[in-house]
Chain A
């Protein structure tokens, strides 16, 4: 008889219900994201406000000044080291050779040395053992060979061509002392570098003077930091305690609620002890809350800051003067010369930092309130993502956003030409049999689990990419050879591979949807097949292809497993000043950070909420991309 009305109704209802379930599910996810993430802004505002009240904010500013200085002093240190090695390398070789011997003794001769050391009394037996041991050490050390030792020295002192016998002899002597003295490195060895540093003349003086010049600022930073940390830690701890109390109270209500349902007297008794235990814990937490007067605690910081302008004034005079002196030095080492030039370039930037920070520090006051807007700004435009800090956690989106976008762009650069080209070929030129092989093969790529692709990237592509980048044929390219194996380029290539099938399938559909008449008319007018494809079919399918590209982009930016494994996960804004070489740097991504840090985030904590905020940003990006695609596709159909 077929289906009667009722069963048809049920089936229809079932299908319809499933369709609406999708919408309910979507709404549920939106709600969940908002609910979990929305608390972030007030929580972050509170943290920022605590940092300001405690004076940690001004300590950060001084730290920033110091960092600029460290950038210069690190370069100077490198110049100094390169120059030192070039001039007094021979003396340093002794230290390096000795270190190899010490390592050898630790790894190979430990039992023999222990055997000797375990003999307690000064007997002839011990004297004999000593002679044997010394001979063993001698032969083992000589067994390493000059070539091996040279391979350890040349990375540090490139100009070395040989190691003299004298050096090896005295290194062995020191190694023997090391063994006899119960694994104590001889002082003379540690002394070598200090001795050489003393003989470096003018460069040594400059290095020392520059190092000394920061002492004032470092001391100031320490005073401010210690004082601010003390207050901030108390505020942070109080916040945590209040959270604990909150949680305990919720637990108390829940456990008390259970009491009503119990009838067994024994169970009631245990439940009551449980409740009283929670109550004690609440009282305990309450007693730990320390009230702190921030107004009073901030006074020493202001007092210390009064000395700040004078310190900066001095730095402004001393640093350029010392850098000026660098020009007079005749560098033997070419590397040292390069470093010296780099320092000169850094100087104006550093002076600028000093100017900026000096004004902000003198204008700084702990009294200005942190607004909600400031907290939102600190999230969306913050330049640091630093969670789980012992000091102050920072939740700035920019490092993650820039990493995600950079990887996606690289991926699209590879995927778009590849996928669109393939789509045009399969749709326009390939024979039926060819298309029958190509299409399923490409679509099959989509079925590869992303974790497999990620592992493939780590184990195979990453190594290949690094090796190729170091080959002389390619190393002239900007950014090559690549230093880090896990980087933007690797992630981009793998994601391109993932996005290609999506783009291909949708683009091919779009090409298919172009009416046959277009092609026939074009061919009839005498156009070649290539002309027809590129000038008639492609423009007609353009909106569909753009939609395909955008959906591919959406797929790439939301991908997690691959980027987690191969992007290098360095939460720092990529250094775009390096030009194209930026592709060789590791980055962190929005999806990666959620996967990596959620395990540590206890529900309701600021970091937990911040991860949901990142999730919301991702969600919004996907939503925008999808909306645009639908608009484009709707227009095409009209």
Chain B
């Protein structure tokens, strides 16, 4: 008798918990540039006023945004690149429409080890380093030492954006080491005197590594118009967003508080970005 009442109580509370969880939930999947810092901080701010809301964030790389949106396992896809044609085709074929929202502007910062004396690279030198044409630091004014180049892996939007913006669309050389995320690139560069890598602006400050000027421009918000490696970051939804998703996106892209967070994390709020890029 006692046992029975306990199990009933358990079942009821589990059911209540389940409905409470199921009430409202937003699932984010995709880019780790967005999903590791910006979105979690926006979430922390947003749930202060929306206590019932549950937000789940899984950052794995931009490619995952679209596969998950298509299968319905994500409400919002985060991507550090625009959608590709063959990804769009799949949505078209399923009769779904993909809606794009600019989340913020980002600059891809090129980082080298603190002890590396090189402070500047031209865009051409940068491209040659990652295509594998330049293999020694002495060729760009550094010490006589081999270059270890670290890149993101091919699921990453930054991987594609960088090849487009920094390497004139050429392919990565076979000497590049493909690492798992921005943070791992920072770690490797900070521990390898001869390392070079690229990360989102939000990751560009840290111990033992520093950013390099590209074409005499450092990655700073004031240089958005002239820095060659600036790009948009996106949220994607299936169809025009409604309900909680809409409310969250509105908060994330227009609220003043959200802009503050975006800047604090190291990105440029979408509106400010569009304005200074237009200059």
Q: Which residues of A contact B (CB under 8 A)?
A: 70, 74, 77-78, 81-82, 95-96, 99-100, 102-103, 106, 152-153, 155-156, 183, 185, 193, 240, 243-244, 247-248, 250-251, 255, 274, 277-278, 281, 335, 384, 386-391, 399, 458, 462-463, 466, 483-486, 564-565, 568-572, 586, 588, 596-602, 605
Chain B, interface size: which category?
A: 35 or more
CB–CB A586/B177 < 8 A = yes
Within 8 A of A (CB), among B164-183: 169-172, 174-180
- Binding stretch for chain A, among B131-139, B240-248, B260-268: B131-139
Task: For B119, give its contact among A102, A153, A463 (CB under 8 Å).
Answer: A102
In this complex, the member of B87, B136, B178, B184 whose beta carbon has the largest number of chain A beta carbons within 10 angstroms is B178
Given contacts A390-B169, A599-B67, contact A251 B93 (CB under 8 A): yes
CB–CB A274/B95 < 8 A = yes
Task: For B60, give its contact among A74, A399, A571, A599 (CB under 8 Å).
Answer: A599
Q: Other than A185-B216, A569-B177, give 15 A-B pairs with Cβ distance below 8 A.
A: A78-B136, A96-B117, A247-B90, A386-B172, A387-B154, A390-B170, A391-B170, A458-B187, A564-B180, A568-B177, A570-B177, A571-B174, A596-B180, A599-B63, A600-B155
A184 to B155, CA, bound (A): 38
Given contacts A251-B95, A570-B174, A570-B177, contact A155 B143 (CB under 8 A): yes
Task: For B141, give its contact among A106, A156, A277, A463 (CB under 8 Å).
Answer: A156
Please tell me if B231 contacts chain A, counting CB pairs below 8 Å: no
CB-nearest residue of chain A to B135: A74
19 example contacts (A-B, Cβ-Cβ < 8 A) are as follows A77-B139, A78-B138, A81-B144, A99-B120, A153-B117, A155-B145, A251-B95, A255-B95, A386-B171, A386-B172, A388-B154, A399-B174, A466-B191, A483-B192, A484-B177, A485-B191, A569-B179, A570-B177, A596-B153
A388 to B142, CA, bound (A): 31
CB–CB A391/B119 < 8 A = no
Please tell me if B61 contacts chain A, counting CB pairs below 8 Å: yes
Given contacts A82-B138, A570-B176, A597-B155, contact A389 B117 (CB under 8 A): no
B144 contacts across to A, CB distance below 8 A: 78, 81-82, 156, 335
Within 8 A of A (CB), among B140-157: 141-146, 148, 153-155
A119 to B119, CA, bound (A): 29
A78 contacts across to B, CB distance below 8 A: 136, 138-139, 144
Given contacts A247-B90, A599-B155, contact A384 B177 (CB under 8 A): no
CB–CB A81/B153 < 8 A = no
In this complex, the member of B86, B141, B144, B188 whose beta carbon has the largest number of chain A beta carbons within 10 angstroms is B144
CB–CB A572/B155 < 8 A = no
Task: For B64, give its contact among A82, A255, A588, A599 (CB under 8 Å).
Answer: A599
A343 to B27, CA, bound (A): 57
Task: For B146, give its contact among A244, A277, A335, A483 (CB under 8 Å).
Answer: A483
Task: For A596, give its contact among B115, B154, B171, B184 (CB under 8 Å).
Answer: B154
A600 contacts across to B, CB distance below 8 A: 61, 63, 154-155
A486 to B155, CA, bound (A): 20
A267 to B169, CA, bound (A): 46
How close is B153's CB to chain A, nearest CB, in angstroms?
5
CB–CB B90/A384 < 8 A = no
How many pairs of A and B residues are in contact by the CB < 8 Å rule?
A: 145
A103 to B116, CA, bound (A): 13
Per-residue CB contact flags for chain B residues 2-31 toward chain A (1 = under 8 Å, else 0) read 000000000000000000000000000000
A602 contacts across to B, CB distance below 8 A: 67, 86-87, 90
Please tell me if B52 contacts chain A, counting CB pairs below 8 Å: no
How close is B237's CB to chain A, nearest CB, in angstroms?
18
Please tell me if B270 contacts chain A, counting CB pairs below 8 Å: no
CB-nearest residue of chain A to B176: A570
CB–CB A483/B143 < 8 A = no
CB-nearest residue of chain A to B93: A251
CB–CB B92/A390 < 8 A = no
CB–CB A485/B192 < 8 A = yes
CB–CB A486/B86 < 8 A = no
Task: For B153, give its contact among A390, A466, A569 (CB under 8 Å).
Answer: A569
CB-nearest residue of chain B to A399: B174
CB–CB B139/A572 < 8 A = no
CB–CB B119/A103 < 8 A = yes
A155 contacts across to B, CB distance below 8 A: 115, 117, 142-143, 145
In this complex, the member of A274, A278, A335, A599 whose beta carbon has the largest number of chain B beta carbons within 10 angstroms is A599
Per-residue CB contact flags for chain B residues 67-103 toward chain A (1 = under 8 Å, else 0) read 1000000000000000001110110111100000000
How close is A98's CB to chain B, nearest CB, in angstroms?
10
